[in-house]
Amino acid sequence: MHPDGPPDWWIYRGTGRPLQDVVLAERLPPAPPWRTFTGGPLPELDLVPPDDGEADRRLGLEHHLSARHVDPHEVEMVNAALYLRRPLLVTGRPGSGKSTLAYRISRELGLGRVLRWPITSLTTLKSGLYGYDAIGRAQAAGTRSAVSAAPSGEYQDPPIGEFVRLAELGTAFLPRRLPRVLLIDELDKSDSDLPHDLLNLFEDGEFTIPELARSARRSPLVEVFTADPHGTAVLEGGRVACAAFPVVVITSNGERDFPPAFLRRCLRFETKDPDTEQLAAMVAAHAVDPGNEHRSRLIEEFVARSAALGGLPADKLLDAVYLATSGAYSENGDSWPRLVDALWRQLNSLVS
């Protein structure tokens, strides 16, 4: 952290502690003219979607991360992404805390539930934007037609919005006064076309659902489901266009390179392995082993083992501390060393 305290331009401080007496809409400066989006219509009640407990699971219930634990470069890059409305590409070793950054940002800035879009080799842009259940709509139409007893014989198809659900990526670009936090997790696992496919969305901040656009003349306003539990949104003309560009955190384990055009549109940051103090704060945040005499020793052993093996996921320390607290730890005998060896085995090691 800066010796004279955080710079005035920082909004995000990196501790994950909710900001007190700060209204983000007033603190965040206007977007650059080339990154200004004017999507709509804005919802009348623009409520922050409540967190579903995932942040607590990832970050812990307690706030033990202080200013001296944070990486100033990480905080600078997050704030730059907030100011410039640009995606943040976070690279680093597996288990180094890349994905938890999204939850820390959301908790600290009060942006509610994180929209997590996990990537596989089969993931497509459309699957991240929305899903349309054409078969379900056809079946519902057939059922309603068969049971219709209207004397006039008139029949109306079921509303198309009942069969459209925005996925995580699509939900993140709904028009809102404050941005949503979108975690695109492990993009390096994707097909080679997906980073290219994301370019237009990141530049334009909008997309169209063809199934709704075709019926826009008959139904200009359609209510659809979103990726939030019990969430719905009203779309006009089948168009989803953001008013506040989402806080996009893209993680990569470095398994592949991304095209230059994609990299130009992102800010990049590489995570570091947590040090001893950061690991101790992480253990304390999860209320694991409070005051246990073995905690410091386990943390030191974990740091040494991680350095020797070229890196270990930090959650493996939590596993060991929890087992030690539960009574598995013993200074005598071979049981505990064998257990720790199994827990802290290098990820790419072959089991003999």
Q: So where are the chain's domains?
A: 24-129+162-270, 276-343
131 — pLDDT class (breaks 50, 70, 90): very high
pLDDT of residue 3: 60
Q: What is the rounded CA–CA span in Å between residue 45 and residue 232? A: 12
Q: List pLDDT tens digits, range 28-66.
A: 999 999 999 999 889 888 888 888 889 888 888 777 777
The single-letter code of the amino acid at 331 is: E
For 213-259, give the secondary structure using H, E and C: HCCCCCCCEEEEECCCCCCEEEEECCEEECCCCCEEEEEECCCCCCC
Task: Lowest mean pLDDT of 146-150, 156-160, 177-181, name the range.
Answer: 146-150
Rounded CA-CA distance 281/348 in Å is 27
Residues 7, 8, 10, 15, CA torsion sign: positive
CATH number of 24-129+162-270: 3.40.50
Order the strands of the 88-91 sheet from edge to edge: 115-118, 181-185, 247-252, 88-91, 267-270
Across 101-118, average pLDDT: 95
C-alpha pair distances (Å), 85 with each of 57, 243, 311, 326: 28, 11, 32, 46
Q: Are strands 181-185 and 115-118 parallel, antiparallel or unpaired?
A: parallel
pTM of the predicted model, to two decimals? Answer: 0.89
Place of tokens 């009203």: 234
Q: Which amino acid is at 142?
A: G
The answer to which of 45-54, 91-100, 284-293, 303-312 has the lowest mean pLDDT is 284-293
